[in-house]
Structure 1
Amino acid sequence: MNSAFDDLYTANADYAAGFGHTGLKPVAARGLALVTCMDSRIDPLPALGLQTGDAKILRNAGGRVTDEVLRTLVLAAYLLEVDRVLVMPHTRCKMASVSGDAEVHDLIEREHGVDTRSLAFGADNDQMGALRRDVERIRHHPLLPRELPVAGVVYDVDTGRIEPADV
């Protein structure tokens, strides 16, 4: 085993010793799919009053609705009892602090010498506009149920509060 992960292996052994989630069904018990950012300042379950098993959590840089997120939402809606979707980007997000992907590519190449132009990051400094477009992508996806409720909120990493967005 790689020693860079020893702390995680030890922590998992402690966690598994008191594991209490045996028998949970693989569905979203509260019918929620949450699309949010990978930012480690976000602890989505307690932030929304949820428990393990209540929701399907989809995380990526910026909390963007990508083709992969849409594919996963289709599966979740039809096979995992998801009946509502919340899209939750956050304040002080790196992906919303730059003008777009070109700036991210330039920054990575300048600071690390790696050309990432083959990747789409979805960076957009118009966070509300991006949220609006992401919510609309879900609402109008031809394979998702027409009646699927979709909402957007912004999570404040400094207060823990969510602010519903008019989307």
Structure 2
Amino acid sequence: MNNEHTSFDDVLAANDAYAQTFDLHGLQARAARGLAVVTCMDSRIDPLAMLGLNPGDAKIIRNAGARVTEDVLRTLVLGAHLLGVERIMVVAHTNCKMASATRDQVIETIETASGVDVRSLDFGLVADQRQTLENDTQKIRSWPFLPPGIAVGGFIYDVATGRLEPAA
């Protein structure tokens, strides 16, 4: 095994243990509860537990800032037309780095830490989280490739309390 793979020994060992008791082989590809959740990649968010869901109940789409990007829209179209998605939640969260840092701060932090020039990247930073959440949910509602009338809601998850609040 080369050096790149040894960096993953801990998670490969955990996967070996997981595979020995794996019992999700009977799940269907469809979202059993008809739900898609767009949320942030923040480790403080456990989407299934947060919503009382089990594996197979929902399609979970994660990115920095829970932003509705072209790729998220593409994925939602596939979910809605092929995988049983009938409702979509966009879940932002409190204390999100994407809603509290400026572009210059993010660039400086990355460049200082690694020397990598990231000025050409759009990080999808958020100046007003509630307004951005409203805009992103509206982007889904008006996307012409999704079924008319698909339920779409925007929410804010509080990472300090675990509570979810409707916001858009």
TM (norm. structure 2) is: 0.93
The counterpart of 1:59, out of the listed 49, 57, 62, is 62
Report what 1:83 is aligned to. 86
- The one-letter amino acid of 1:30's match is R
Aligned length: 165
Candidates 38, 52, 62, aligned match of 1:49: 52
Gapped runs of 5+ residues in structure 2? none
**Residue aligning to 2:145:** 143
1:65-110: per-residue Cα shift (whole Å, max 9, x none)?
00100000001000000000000011101000024x3442243224
3-state SS of 1:41 partner: coil
TM-score by length of 1: 0.94
Distance in structure 2 (CA, Å) of the matches to 1:103 and 1:9: 35
**CA contact 1:155–1:161 (8 Å) conserved in 2:** yes
Runs of 4+ in 1 over 3 A off after TM superposition: none
Please state how far the C-alpha of 1:153 moved relative to its aligned partner: 0.6
Overall identity of the aligned pairs, in %: 57
Kindly indicate whether residue 42 of structure 2 is the aligned counterpart of residue 39 of structure 1: yes
Give the distance between the partners of 1:5 and 1:120, measured in 2 at CA.
Answer: 29
Secondary structure at the aligned position of 1:121 is classed as coil
Measure how far apart 1:21 and its partner are. 0.8
| Whole-angstrom CA distance in 1 between matches of 2:116 and 2:40 | 23
One-letter code aligned to 2:43: S
Shift of 1:20: 1.2
Q: Distance in 2 between matches of 1:125 and 1:40?
A: 22
Partner of 1:126: 128
Match in the other structure for 1:5: 8
Structure 2 residue 128 is matched with structure 1 residue 117: no
Query: Where do 5+ consecutive residues of structure 1 fail to align?
Result: none
